[in-house]
Chain A
């Protein structure tokens, strides 16, 4: 044992210094207290100091912006986004691509002007840096120039949404400023410019797809040349690999037999469909924390110097990348305060589980029925899977010696569920109900549906049936089974009441007589439930965005089991949707000249359930 330790001491000496600097630099992107990682400016300084190749981030917009400003009739641009979306980065790249002097830029002027031929371009990398008077006069000039097609000055303004609105509101409210403000506000919310006279384009970096960005960031970071020194580092050996390098290796693996990356991007995608956006900075923090996270080191992010001690204390398993994704290396308080981890932990991965998975994890070692799977899913991973810590906790738990054992094992169990979510091979996904490891049991189907829709393929029948049945149950408040017709019911009184015994209309799900219920994509790549009532455009289709949460709600309702956590939120949404549908069917009846009262007879259509649970209509006539 003594010898072993001494060996490690020697190893410490062979750490490559340039790699160590790179790791320290990468660490700055992680969730560390200094918060310095927030700003492009400080990153530029650090890069210079350590002669590190800059991390080249994907910025698909830069080309578009540059082309625009080079064109004969450029339009002024506003770039908005959340803190960390890369606004400053974009401005800097545009400045350089258009021939601006980097040295001049780095002096940090708040308002920079660049001549382009006879025109000039004013770049403001952060509107909020401007003093009240500065911004007021800038906004006034800006409003004047964008309203004037013959103006020769164009603008590139960057600001986050709140600041942008604040600056517009605090400027002197001339007619031009008011017009421009109105247009910008509308563009912020709806993405559409309502006023053709306002020559300005607004780009929201918050709307670029984060899943794609994440893949690019992972590739950029894991292939960075800073890693080259690892080759001859002695912390890296086969029996006890360096956790940093191990995490990097797992992150790099991509392809069908390595589901990790696709599962991670699936989570990001689902979050985004639930309108939780991940700015670039958060994605960087996620990658940095995934690779470097460990609960026992300073700031809970490893440096190269920490590795020998971790290995010495047999704590490598705590650096598990699958735990780090959810910030489990950090304190609970920190996790709750960090938006990134709040969003990822909303999936409940580690807490949610299925019987099969838990049986495997608890009894798998001894149960012959689970033997092969236990081998594939746990024993094969000596580093983060069947680690000595896990095996002994499992043993102690099954022996049931004390309460501490139980808690200890529960936390191990959590880590394993997290790991299984990311490593379960695709062909075992069904058997172990992979998505039951999250709160979104139907997320797998959801992603499948979204992909099919985007590719223009037919939506799986099963998914549509599930949606329609779920809607029917919510609309009627009864356990109806219909899935080929949308049962639009009303309570006769207010739409919020839970039970609706009166039939309004049965709307055919397959195309029939102008009616149909389908799923479709919209311009922002969201998925919508689309209900059509008529041919032609007299009544436009009624749509409802189908987020993963709503999809989950419908799925659970259609199977008759609803966890209380959904409570009111989705239910209210769907009732509001029903209210809209009821309004439109009413309109259709007016167009068709139908009336509920004919010659003093009022027809009430009650919904009865037949023996198969199908809703059938029963007409009752009241002479009034």
Chain B
């Protein structure tokens, strides 16, 4: 694995103030972008790159530049269309309803220079039919109940025509790409998959599932949108520091196994979202661990028990420990500079303060502002940078572990005041769908989850914890037992006897039967 330098060919006006989080994890991971939105952004990149003839191939590291769709008419119709309900309720008759609605809509639609929605009349028999279709699209929207601005709401990715990027649409109609919810994490995901070893196989599958697939609902989105609209400019500047990483391969493998399940594409997407969330979370932790040079990250999971257990405490501790890892990595990463030859040279210079400031600028892209004038010691300067970096880190990257682990159902505060790793049923189901081809012995499944994702559930994976005396073997075997019961009640496990059980993938199993 090679760690890549920051590319200097693209300089963003509103780019990062300094290059610390980005140097470790890339530009950028963002807490407000939920796993669902990561996948949506990814699909946008995928489609745009496909249109440019570069499906899942990176011509030179970190050169990604793409032009996503914006589909302004479609999103206005679905998410910025309050009049449809009122016009329908007035019961004025079909003709009047259409006319009234068109007037209102043409006035209020956002981001369009000359809005004209009259083309829609030929697509529907009645205004009521039109309203039902819009209602259907609203109901199936991604995270539809959120109170985000209308330009940050998304229809379900039925197909290429239903994809568009997050935008900020101002009152005066100007469009800006403020990276609020499509904060480049989808671009990072795209780069990761481009750099995975299984890229060729994945390319075929993605093409088949998301590019070539023609679904009736996608053509409905097409009918509503009319001609496709694209962003005005190319989006560049994404940066992923690792030329390769085991996590990249794991994401790709997980995507391949989910995409190979014999179920409709729509049903695969939620699983893809969950596994992407989990793997990116692990990427965050693994990178921190690599910077710190500490032991392998692991996640001790409690399978929720009705009463307080030792495992609950341990999983809470494990959560806390991991939650702080990225922050520790930031400090370590900055401090490392004081052990470099460049530092020694800078300190030996006639004006160490000036040369160190210069070094920090070169390394971390940190331009000290006037406030630092009073600082005279080079070491204080480093400390200052550290503090700034931590403050910035805590605003977003530092929140990712908490936000994503909750979003994918990995962490919970159920019957406790402390957050801990306690996977919910949906996550467990996704893990089974993803990891088990047909069937797998239960103990093997536990070992696999540990090997692949660092999840510690059963006693066999917790040897050292038990040896240290922090828990009894029984605590962990009971934990595994609860997982076994849980999976059995979800219909994902077949028990042969007290000593033997098989985890079964519900989809592949039915295929065989």
Are the chains A and B members of one assembly? yes
Q: Which of A497, A622, A623 contacts B140 (CB 8 A)?
A: A497
Are B219 and A597 touching (Cβ within 8 A)?
yes
CB of A38 to closest CB in B, whole Å: 12
A81, B497: Cα distance in complex, Å: 7
CB of A267 to closest CB in B, whole Å: 19
CB of B131 to closest CB in A, whole Å: 10
Are A623 and B220 touching (Cβ within 8 A)?
no
Known: A494-B267, A604-B132. A162 touches B497 (CB 8 A): yes
Known: A189-B494, A568-B425, A572-B425. A620 touches B500 (CB 8 A): no
Known: A568-B426, A621-B129. A275 touches B216 (CB 8 A): no
Q: Which of B136, B488, B497 contacts A501 (CB 8 A)?
A: B136
Please, which residues of chain B bring their CB within 8 A of the CB of A597?
216, 219
Nearest residue (CB) in A for B496 is: A161
**Stretch of A238-246, A513-521, A575-583 at the chain-chain interface:** A575-583
Nearest residue (CB) in A for B144 is: A497
A163, B496: Cα distance in complex, Å: 12
Tell me, yes or no, whether A134 is within 8 Å of chain B by CB.
no
Nearest residue (CB) in A for B474 is: A337
CB of A336 to closest CB in B, whole Å: 10
Are B222 and A624 touching (Cβ within 8 A)?
yes
Nearest residue (CB) in A for B441 is: A165
Are A622 and B267 touching (Cβ within 8 A)?
no
**Stretch of B40-48, B120-128, B233-241, B383-391 at the chain-chain interface:** B120-128
Are B140 and A596 touching (Cβ within 8 A)?
no
Please, which residues of chain B bring their CB within 8 A of the CB of A81?
497
- How large, as a class, is the contact surface on chain A? 35 or more
Are B499 and A160 touching (Cβ within 8 A)?
yes
Please, which residues of chain A bring their CB within 8 A of the CB of B510?
580
A573, B490: Cα distance in complex, Å: 7
Are A493 and B123 touching (Cβ within 8 A)?
no
Known: A161-B496, A569-B489, A602-B219. A620 touches B266 (CB 8 A): no
Kindly supply a per-residue 1/0 record for chain B positions 89-131, scoring 1 wherever the CB is within 8 Å of any chain A CB and 0 otherwise: 0000000000000000000000000000000001111000100
A496, B269: Cα distance in complex, Å: 11
CB of A547 to closest CB in B, whole Å: 10
Within 8 A of A (CB), among B127-171: 129, 132-133, 135-136, 139-140, 156, 158
Tell me, yes or no, whether A460 is within 8 Å of chain B by CB.
no
A495, B433: Cα distance in complex, Å: 15
CB of A283 to closest CB in B, whole Å: 15
Q: Which of A163, A492, A494 contacts B269 (CB 8 A)?
A: A494
A188, B441: Cα distance in complex, Å: 12
Please, which residues of chain A bring their CB within 8 A of the CB of B489?
549, 569
Please, which residues of chain B bring their CB within 8 A of the CB of A162?
496-497, 499-500
Tell me, yes or no, whether A83 is within 8 Å of chain B by CB.
yes
Kindly supply a per-residue 1/0 record for chain A positions 149-162, scoring 1 wherever the CB is within 8 Å of any chain B CB and 0 otherwise: 00000000000111
Are B497 and A161 touching (Cβ within 8 A)?
yes
Tell me, yes or no, whether B293 is within 8 Å of chain A by CB.
no
CB of A110 to closest CB in B, whole Å: 19
Nearest residue (CB) in B for A206 is: B497
Please, which residues of chain A bring their CB within 8 A of the CB of B488?
275
Are B123 and A622 touching (Cβ within 8 A)?
yes
Tell me, yes or no, whether B429 is within 8 Å of chain A by CB.
yes
Please, which residues of chain A bring their CB within 8 A of the CB of B499?
82-83, 160-163
A573, B489: Cα distance in complex, Å: 9
Tell me, yes or no, whether B197 is within 8 Å of chain A by CB.
no
Tell me, yes or no, whether B375 is within 8 Å of chain A by CB.
no
Please, which residues of chain A bring their CB within 8 A of the CB of B498?
82-83, 160, 339
Within 8 A of B (CB), among A556-606: 567-569, 572-573, 576, 579-580, 582-583, 596-597, 602, 604, 606
Within 8 A of B (CB), among A57-90: 80-83
CB of A90 to closest CB in B, whole Å: 15
A80, B496: Cα distance in complex, Å: 10
Are B133 and A604 touching (Cβ within 8 A)?
yes
Please, which residues of chain B bring their CB within 8 A of the CB of A621?
124-125, 129
Known: A162-B500, A572-B490. A624 touches B140 (CB 8 A): no
Tell me, yes or no, whether A491 is within 8 Å of chain B by CB.
yes
Nearest residue (CB) in B for A618 is: B132
Tell me, yes or no, whether B217 is within 8 Å of chain A by CB.
yes
Are B267 and A579 touching (Cβ within 8 A)?
yes
Tell me, yes or no, whether A330 is within 8 Å of chain B by CB.
no
Known: A572-B429, A602-B220, A622-B220. A275 touches B495 (CB 8 A): yes
Are B425 and A583 touching (Cβ within 8 A)?
no
Within 8 A of B (CB), among A467-508: 491-497, 499, 501-502
Most chain A beta-carbon neighbours within 10 Å: one of B124, B429, B500: B500
A502, B132: Cα distance in complex, Å: 11
Within 8 A of A (CB), among B419-459: 425-426, 429, 439, 441
Are B140 and A492 touching (Cβ within 8 A)?
yes
- How large, as a class, is the contact surface on chain B? 35 or more
Tell me, yes or no, whether B246 is within 8 Å of chain A by CB.
no
Are B500 and A160 touching (Cβ within 8 A)?
yes
Kindly supply a per-residue 1/0 record for chain A positions 79-120, scoring 1 wherever the CB is within 8 Å of any chain B CB and 0 otherwise: 011110000000000000000000000000000000000000
Are B497 and A604 touching (Cβ within 8 A)?
no
Known: A496-B267, A621-B125, A624-B123. A188 touches B136 (CB 8 A): no
Nearest residue (CB) in B for A497 is: B140
Q: Which of B122, B222, B490 contacts A568 (CB 8 A)?
A: B490
Tell me, yes or no, whether B465 is within 8 Å of chain A by CB.
no
A358, B194: Cα distance in complex, Å: 67
A492, B139: Cα distance in complex, Å: 10
Within 8 A of A (CB), among B485-505: 488-491, 494-500, 502
Are B122 and A623 touching (Cβ within 8 A)?
yes
Are B123 and A496 touching (Cβ within 8 A)?
no
A549, B491: Cα distance in complex, Å: 12
A76, B132: Cα distance in complex, Å: 65
Are B425 and A160 touching (Cβ within 8 A)?
no
Nearest residue (CB) in B for A544 is: B491
Q: Which of A80, A576, A606 contacts B132 (CB 8 A)?
A: A606
Tell me, yes or no, whether B60 is within 8 Å of chain A by CB.
no
Tell me, yes or no, whether B270 is within 8 Å of chain A by CB.
yes
Known: A501-B139, A597-B216, A624-B219. A165 touches B491 (CB 8 A): no
A492, B429: Cα distance in complex, Å: 22
CB of B292 to closest CB in A, whole Å: 38
A494, B429: Cα distance in complex, Å: 15
Nearest residue (CB) in A for B307 is: A336
Tell me, yes or no, whether B506 is within 8 Å of chain A by CB.
yes
Tell me, yes or no, whether B324 is within 8 Å of chain A by CB.
no
A606, B267: Cα distance in complex, Å: 20
Are B491 and A572 touching (Cβ within 8 A)?
yes
Q: Which of A572, A582, A602 contacts B216 (CB 8 A)?
A: A602
CB of B140 to closest CB in A, whole Å: 4
Tell me, yes or no, whether B264 is within 8 Å of chain A by CB.
yes
Are A165 and B219 touching (Cβ within 8 A)?
no
Within 8 A of B (CB), among A278-319: none
A497, B219: Cα distance in complex, Å: 22
Q: Which of A161, A492, A596, A624 contacts B223 (CB 8 A)?
A: A624
Tell me, yes or no, whether B348 is within 8 Å of chain A by CB.
no
Are A576 and B491 touching (Cβ within 8 A)?
yes
Q: Which of B217, B222, B500 contacts A492 (CB 8 A)?
A: B217
Please, which residues of chain A bring their CB within 8 A of the CB of B425?
567-569, 572
Are B506 and A576 touching (Cβ within 8 A)?
yes
CB of A333 to closest CB in B, whole Å: 12
Question: 11 A–B contact pairs at CB < 8 A?
Answer: A83-B498, A160-B498, A189-B439, A189-B494, A494-B270, A495-B264, A501-B136, A602-B219, A602-B223, A620-B129, A621-B125
Using a CB–CB cutoff of 8 Å, the interface residues on chain B facing chain A are: 122-125, 129, 132-133, 135-136, 139-140, 156, 158, 216-217, 219-220, 222-223, 263-264, 266-267, 269-270, 425-426, 429, 439, 441, 488-491, 494-500, 502, 506, 510
Identify the 7 closest CB pairs spanning chains A and B, nearest first: A162-B499, A161-B500, A162-B500, A82-B497, A161-B496, A624-B223, A493-B156
Extra contacts besides A162-B500, A189-B439, A493-B140 (4): CB < 8 Å: A206-B497, A572-B491, A620-B132, A623-B122
